[in-house]
Structures are given as structure tokens and as C-alpha cells.
Structure 1
């Protein structure tokens, strides 16, 4: 990388912290003021930096536009698919990826179990939103007022004796999910199915999708499915890192 390009790229994280003067910018990139000024002018010409009336510089609107366009082009399913396949190969169980669409949660990818007992879920099908582990993660990430309003609009079918029975129970469960950073469905939708899920997060830290491992109790009991949580979380963290354009931590690759 050329020295000029390196210095120009180092200016952007500085301005992300707030407006900076020419002198502050020059010190940050360890360059003469004339060099810093030339780089700032070039960035300004491309809309990546804006010079304020007080002569300080801040990030330009074009940078935010480019970032938004990049986010809109991301396909979380495409990014996640090889990671789901690896998790499916590792565990042998059914792996799902789900996203929220308005007040529904939809499966957008699925890797089938290697065992003869299969689940009836499918790509494009809605999730049992009040009990499914992936749904809990997606709903738990909503701002509190939106979360509360939605909890009071939902219906609460009694799928099993473990199903959540109303808004208060759901909100308490979502608070727990927010605190622990993962979710489980242990017989809440089907008595014979256990599931554990982890969130996929975007650049702003918000949950953009959730992935899970599910297994019939005749294949894997509650304890066995919960023991898969570290692998599920590592997979979700690896997907999040790739989705955000970061290098995954080493422990997410093991």
C-alpha cells in the first residue's frame, strides 16, 4: 500500500470520532500539514470528507451513502451458507437461518440432519414466533417500546406445556435472551424437538439474522443440544465477522 493511500485511510477513523482540525489530522497521520491538507482536499473532492465553517473536517455524506449501499448489497444467506454447511457437518443436526420480516420470522436457509428423523420446517416458511429460538433472538433485539408493543399484538398458541403463554412471559424471556446473548427452544413448539440459536450481527451491532441447531429428542436430548451452544455461537460470530467485513477471531475458526 502506498504511503499516501495509507495516510488517507487513517484519516477516516480519526474523523469518525468527531471533527478534527488540520493540525490534529497531521499529527494523527504523522505528516506535515501540507501533506495532510492535500489528502483532506482529495477526500473532500470525492465527498468522503467535509470542511466545516469552523475549518474543522468531518466525515462527508458520500461516505455514509456508500456504506448504506454496501449494506443493502449484502446477502446474509449467501454469506452464511458455507458456515451453516460446516456446522451441519460438525453436528449432524438440522441447521436453520432465519430473518425477521415485519412481525413474522422466516427461515431463509436450512441444512438437513444426517439422521433419518427429519424436521418439517422449510425455506420460506414462517417460524412459531412466540417460542422458536431464532425468533426470540430477533425479537429481543428490537427497541424496548417496539418489543413491548409487538408482544401485546401477538397471539400465543399453546403448542406444548412449555409454550409461552402471553406478553409478560415473552417479555421476560426476551429480556433473558438479551442478557445471555443466545436462545433455546426446549420443547416449546414441539415436545420432541430441542433447539439452540445464536445471533448474526451487522456492522451496527444489531441482529440481522439468527442461526440454530435443532434435533429430535430421540436423537439428542436437551443437555446434548445445549452442549452444542459453543459451536453455534462460534459459527454465528464467524458469519457476523464476514458480513461486517472483519477478520474473524481465531477462536471462531476452531
Structure 2
């Protein structure tokens, strides 16, 4: 019998969001939650991120998944992100080493340990069914034609989104004009979003990449909205320093 780990996590995320909105008196008319701390780009500094370190989304999305016996059992395909900008679970493809067909699973972030050689998890051949990805209560599969396309066909519940939905999305200025694209996302080792990395287009008179604060779901971006809106800043990159990945300590590098 499945333990529905992810369903419980989604319920917790939704409850936390509702409680926060109730305590803050709901949302303001412009879509920003009252009481939420917004960091002006003028006060934004990379120093705290460099000091804390963490991990990059592009490294996470290609990371090796290891099982309870420490052997390689699969790879990360996606991540489910909560409305408060933290990883709820990893979507992984596993099974090859267990003489079974590829199987997609959802592994709660709290059960994942970061290591230089991959992500350590408690998965075993005899408990893999407990981590089933699809459950009508929280994740559905619609018109699935090819198992390899499963990550694009996963539909998440309310205010829970997939990391792949933000990566490579367009980045636009306040006036809606194009600026570049989202090339990466940075997370703390607790799985909390630290910044969104934006690569300016060739048309911009500036070089990146730049790290921007991510104020939350609905403020600058929402799934399938079409683009990530840069936080208000004079020049949109002018005067900002390029983000230096070499100063960002990560267990995957």
C-alpha cells in the first residue's frame, strides 16, 4: 500500500500557504502577498549566496540517484516546488539496476542526502512502490504516449510547480520587453530557492549571467505564465555584477 508521501507534503504546503495568507490578511490587489519580505534589487547582494553555497538546478537535473545500498539506481528528471519556493520532492527515473523497466518515482526532499557522487535515498527494490509518482489525489498523467516524455506530462496540484517550468523560460523587463532567459536556479542545501539566474540576450548591452531574487509564486512568475518578470531595477542588469559560479560552493562540483 502506498504511503502517499507526496500527497501529505502537498497538503502541508497548501495548509502553510493558506495560514500565511490568513495571517497576512490575504493578498493585495496587485498579486503580491502583504507581509511578504520583498528584497529590492538595489539592496540585493551575491555575498550571502556565495557564503552559504548550495546547488544549481542544472546539476540537480542531471544528478545520479543512489539507493539504500549506495548503488546507482537512476537519475533525477525533475523537481516539485512548493508555493513558498522550496523543493517538496524529486521526480526520478529508476529501476534499471533492479531488472525491471524504468519507473518514475517521487522522492520527498526530506529523505534525500546530497553527496559529491549523487543523491542518496532510502529506495530499495522492495519499497520502490511506496514512492509511486502517479496518484489521482495529487499528480495525474494525461494522454501519455511515450514513457520518456513523462516529466512533461506530469500535472501538479494547486500552487505546486515543476522546476522545468521555470528553467529556460523567457525573462522580461517591467514593460514586458524581452531581456533574456532563465538559465539556472540556485537552491540552499535545505532545498530553498536562493536566486534565479538570468542570461541576457545578445541584443542587450550587458553581459551576465545575473542572479535575481525570486519573491515567490505569482509575484514575478507563475507556471505557464509565459515569462519571468525581472524585479524592478534601473537598467535591468546595468551596474550589476555577473554571477561567479566559481565562488559558489556546491557538493556537485
TM bucket, shorter chain: under 0.3
More strand per residue: 1 or 2? 2
More helix per residue: 1 or 2? 1
Relative contact order higher in (CA < 8 Å, ≥ 6 apart) = 2
Could you state the TM-score of these two structures normalised by the residue count of structure 2?
0.25
Which protein shows a greater Rg? 1
